């Protein structure tokens, strides 16, 4: 990933950006994150990068600070106009970012704000199967092993959520549901 120099506009590798004060500030924001969320956030920043130039370090700092405020709230709202919120652990935010990266070709880039990510994370948080699946891992006990039926239901729930979020169309969702049920 390349960033853009605030002085000359020249692009340079992300790692070289740690040499100045803004670069150090950006690195400090990532330092306290769990690795999965940190990697997801680095990929997410690419969605904000203009096509013909790099992302300014100051803008990257602002975006990361805004996103950390959302993550640290421990909940997600579909949009800022509603009070309807769902609990959202950092793992849900990382999963939401990963879904956006996977569906990158359907996004209008560069992104302007975090609204679409909030909608994606809200969709994950609203789906009990996905939210439970992304909850912190619990030790495996004899009673916690999933049955074939449970695995199939979880797969179908993920497909339903992807369709609801517009990541896949109805035809693709139907095809995936049939495949999950074992009937082609």
Q: Mind listing the pLDDT tens digit for each residue in 48-72?
A: 998 888 889 899 999 999 999 999 9
Give the three-state DSSP class for 54: coil
Does residue 42 surpass a pLDDT of 70? yes
Give the three-state DSSP class for 42: helix
Phi-psi domain of 74 (left: phi exceeds 0; alpha: psi -120 through 50; beta: other)? left
Q: Which residues contact 45 (CB under 8 A, 6 or more apart)?
A: 1, 55, 60, 63, 64
46, 3 Cβ separation under 8 angstroms: no
What gap in Å lies between CA 15 and CA 131, rounded to an integer? 34
Give the three-state DSSP class for 86: strand
The residue among 79 and 22 whose pLDDT is bigger is: 22
What gap in Å lies between CA 13 and CA 166, rounded to an integer? 34
Phi-psi domain of 127 (left: phi exceeds 0; alpha: psi -120 through 50; beta: other)? beta
What gap in Å lies between CA 171 and CA 124, rounded to an integer? 21
The residue among 8 and 33 whose pLDDT is bigger is: 33
Residue 11: the pLDDT is: 79
Please tell me the pTM assigned to this model: 0.64
Q: Mind listing the pLDDT tens digit for each residue in 97-144?
A: 999 999 999 999 999 999 999 999 999 998 877 766 665 544 444 444
Residue 177: the pLDDT is: 83
Range 80-104 average pLDDT: 90
The residue among 32 and 3 whose pLDDT is bigger is: 32
**C-alpha separations of 147 from 57, 139, 150, 155 in Å:** 48, 17, 5, 13
Q: Beta-strand (E) ranges in 40-92?
A: 55-56, 75-77, 85-87
> If pLDDT is split at 50, 70 and 90, which confidence band does 44 have?
very high
Range 152-174 average pLDDT: 80
Residues 108, 159, 99, CA angle at the centre, nearest 5°?
35
Token digits of residue 45: 């920043």
Residue 108: the pLDDT is: 92
């Amino acid at each position: 990933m390349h960033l853009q120099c605030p002085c000359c506009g020249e692009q340079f590798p992300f790692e070289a950006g740690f040499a100045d004060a803004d670069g150090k500030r950006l690195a400090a924001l990532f330092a306290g994150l769990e690795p999965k969320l940190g990697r997801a956030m680095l990929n997410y920043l690419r969605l904000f990068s203009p096509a013909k130039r790099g992302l300014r370090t100051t803008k990257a700092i602002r975006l990361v600070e805004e996103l950390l405020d959302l993550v640290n709230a421990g909940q997600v709202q579909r949009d800022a106009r509603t009070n309807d919120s769902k609990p959202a652990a950092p793992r849900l935010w990382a999963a939401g970012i990963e879904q956006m990266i996977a569906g990158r070709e359907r996004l209008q880039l560069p992104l302007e704000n975090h609204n679409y990510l909030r909608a994606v994370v809200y969709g994950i948080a609203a789906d009990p199967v996905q939210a439970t699946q992304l909850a912190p891992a619990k030790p495996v006990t004899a009673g916690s092993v999933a049955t074939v039926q449970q695995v199939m239901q979880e797969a179908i729930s993920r497909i339903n959520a992807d369709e609801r979020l517009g990541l896949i169309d109805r035809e693709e969702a139907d095809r995936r549901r049939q495949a999950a049920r074992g009937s082609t």
